[in-house]
Chain A
């Protein structure tokens, strides 16, 4: 029988809204050092990272980050060109195989270096979308209107999400200090500046462990009781943008029902509302107590941080059943749901 697997440690940078002059590797190094100290381990059975070369503007930019880990003698290592939440999924599968009992997962991103809305353009369908120059914010705005018109929600409901997220972010020492949303002009209507994620530089790391190793490394491990990721068709016109069918399916398969806290990878205010509906999160669920991506969005680590923040609620004993969510692609095209519990039987 496969031993249970848990998040046993989570570390993140104090994220900044501007470039502080540190390279990605320099951002990451203290995070890796701290998580090694926290777990008392210098080496892990598997290492997996998530990052994006377009953010740095250089191919294979993730290789340099291995300097922060220490890769000699050779380590078992992998990388995904996705948010590090998907690296965590790969590490979870590796641990499920029983090949090893610990894994280090990390992600990093500096969105201060490039206009991310335009950077996301080049990652779209190259035949029908890239030549139009449609950017990430414009695509999000198309989904926002589809949701508002279908649900009857108002733009004020979006602003309320921004206000709550920013207030929570101000209380979170790792997130940015962003002001109350004011009556901003539209970035791309119906989205205003406060409906958009802030420019953020940062990094984060998680250590996964299975069975006895997890109990050794952590007083209250956050056991993964369900983990699933699903994708919608890539063409934004081939699906109902007002809903997230893939998030609903991933949530059902991971067992989202009954969580107390949900950390959602909602980079735009309307995405939180779509995800709450898709995951069946009622008013009794605390959503994004960290402030979420609207308070700090170090791209490629943002999704991993959701799982880390959710796990931290189990580590500190304030919750027993939590959910971390990550998204990728235009208009919430791909969704990953990780359900964690203080009890390994769920």
Chain B
């Protein structure tokens, strides 16, 4: 149907239909913001209500029962590209929804939010409720669509602080501001602590002897992160513990420059610095660590730093 139509079949103004007492009751209740079904002689509740019981062909009882408004999805289909006649103009689901108290299901559109693909919450069994139009006219469209029941809220969280990092960290960041990585050597055990704390965590003694370390090191262990983080380049990203050459403790940083599934324990890496003009007194001067074209370090050489 690539070309424009040259023939149109249409009833101008729409086709007038009588609805009768059963469908009429259903539509009138919809206009009042209620969903009703009708009870069969066998006790089942049919929604939408029907004149006849589809199982037996007998008249239904004409006893109308309010159902829902909440209901359960019994099957669904995802429309990635809505047609002009569809009730929503962005991707949505069609669903059969069995309102609470009913024995049959109602077909309607289900809006699960603005997603290109079906979100994980959308599955058979999902609990949903109608979204009513403010102005109702007595039609199935008085329900604009159904929406999932509320199962979660997002609570705003914010506190403001004025923090100072302490003297050792200040000195470390002073180095970073100049493109240097500074650590402290412990007088007792001799290991280099980076970033330094001014204390050796092993011996519990103050440290003061500064050592400048190269910006190369070895990945000891790592994690692949699939939740977005403003500090990471993209999802998935890799956070890793890196043992800088000459250091006795690992530091936590990002690893990038290769696919996440190719990062390895023992991999050699070098810091990727931002351009010098962008340097500030912050760790973000190093964007992340990138792989070095060197052989991996054997596990035995890093096993004590995990």
Q: Say whether A and B bind each other.
A: yes
Task: Enumerate chain A interface residues (CB-CB to B < 8 A).
Answer: 54, 57-58, 114-115, 117-118, 121, 126-129, 131-135, 138-139, 141-146, 149, 185-186, 188-191, 232-233, 235-239, 241-242
Q: Is B83 at the interface (CB under 8 A from chain A)?
A: yes
Cα A118 to Cα B19 in complex, Å, equals: 23
Please tell me if B79 contacts chain A, counting CB pairs below 8 Å: yes
Asked if B248 is an interface residue, CB under 8 A from chain A, the answer is: no
Pair B104/A237 contact, Cβ less than 8 Å: yes
Instruction: List B contacts of A149 (CB < 8 A).
Output: 75, 124
Interfacial residues of chain B within 227-262, with CB under 8 A of chain A in the complex: none
Beta-carbon contact of B106 and A237 below 8 Å: yes
Cβ contact within 8 Å between B1 and A114: yes
Which residues of B lie under 8 Å from residue A239 when comparing CB positions? Answer: 54
- Contact (Cβ within 8 A) B17 A126: yes
Q: Which of A54, A58, A127, A233 has the most CB of B within 10 A?
A: A127
A115 and B1 within 8 A (CB): yes
B50 touches A131 (CB 8 A): no
Chain A hits for B83, CB < 8 A: 117-118, 133, 135
Q: Are A132 and B141 touching (Cβ within 8 A)?
A: yes
29 chain-A/chain-B pairs, Cβ below 8 angstroms: A57-B7, A114-B1, A115-B1, A121-B85, A127-B23, A129-B140, A131-B139, A132-B108, A133-B85, A133-B86, A133-B87, A135-B83, A138-B94, A141-B77, A142-B77, A142-B94, A144-B77, A145-B77, A145-B124, A186-B78, A188-B94, A189-B77, A190-B77, A235-B48, A236-B96, A237-B47, A237-B96, A238-B46, A238-B104
Q: Do A142 and B76 touch (CB < 8 A)?
A: yes
- By the criterion CB–CB under 8 Å, are B75 and A241 in contact? yes
The residues of A that contact B95 with a CB separation of less than 8 Å are: 142
For A115, A126, A141, A145, the residue with the greatest tally of chain B CB atoms inside 10 Å of its CB is A145
Task: Tell me which residues across on chain B come within 8 A of A189, comparing CB atoms.
Answer: 77-78, 80, 118
**Interface contacts beyond A57-B7, A129-B140, A188-B80: sample of 5 additional A-B pairs, CB < 8 Å, sorted by A:** A127-B17, A128-B48, A149-B75, A189-B77, A190-B78
A114 (CB) vs chain B CBs: closest residue: B1
Within 8 A of A (CB), among B91-143: 94-98, 104-109, 118, 124, 139-141
B9 sits at the interface (CB 8 A): yes
Across the interface, which residues of A come within 8 angstroms of B79, CB to CB? Answer: 138, 188
Cα A134 to Cα B85 in complex, Å, equals 8
Q: What is the CA–CA distance of A236 and B96 in the complex, to the nearest angstrom? A: 8
Once the chains are docked, how many angstroms separate the CA of A126 from the CA of B19? 10
The interface residues of chain B lying within 8 Å CB-to-CB of A237 are 47, 74, 96-98, 104-107
Known: A57-B9, A141-B77, A149-B75. Is A127-B118 also a contact (CB below 8 A)? no
B interface list, Cβ under 8 A from A: 1, 7-9, 15, 17, 19, 23, 27, 46-48, 50, 54, 74-80, 83, 85-87, 94-98, 104-109, 118, 124, 139-141
Residues of chain A with a CB closer than 8 A to B139's CB: 131
Q: Given A57-B9, A128-B140, A237-B105, does the pair A188, B48 have CB atoms closer than 8 Å?
A: no
Q: Smallest Cβ distance from B65 to chain A, in angstroms?
A: 16
Residues of B within 8 A of A115 (CB): 1
Residues of chain A with a CB closer than 8 A to B46's CB: 238
CB distance from A247 to the nearest CB of B (A): 16
The docked-state distance in angstroms from the alpha carbon of A185 to that of B80 is 9
Closest to B47 in A: A237
A127→B104 contact, CB < 8 A? no
B104: nearest chain-A partner, CB-CB: A238
Q: How far is the CA of A235 from the CA of B48 in the complex (A)?
A: 8
Complex contact B94–A134 (CB within 8 A) = yes
Residue of B nearest to A112 (CB): B1
When chains A and B are docked, how far (Å) is the Cα of A135 from the Cα of B17? 21
Whether the pair B17, A143 counts as a contact (CB closer than 8 A) is no
Of all chain B residues, the one with the shortest Cβ separation from A239 is B54
Given contacts A128-B140, A134-B94, contact A146 B74 (CB under 8 A): yes
Chain A residues near B23: list those with CB within 8 A: 127-128
- Complex contacts, A126 vs chain B, CB 8 Å: 15, 17
A residues near B19, Cβ cutoff 8 Å: 127
Which B residues lie within 8 Å of A57 (CB)? 7-9
B25 to chain A, nearest CB (A): 12
Provide the bound-state CA to CA distance between A127 and B27, in Å: 9
Give the residues in chain B near A141, CB-CB below 8 Å: 77-78, 94
Partner of A132, one of B9, B15, B27, B87: B87
Q: Which residue of the partner chain A has the closest CB to B143? A: A132
Is the pair B141, A131 in contact by a Cβ cutoff of 8 Å?
Answer: yes
5 nearest interchain CB pairs? Answer: A237-B105, A141-B77, A233-B54, A133-B85, A189-B78
Assess the A54–B27 pair: CB atoms within 8 A: no
A residues less than 8 Å from B9 (CB atoms): 54, 57-58
A139 proximity list for chain B (CB < 8 A): 77, 94
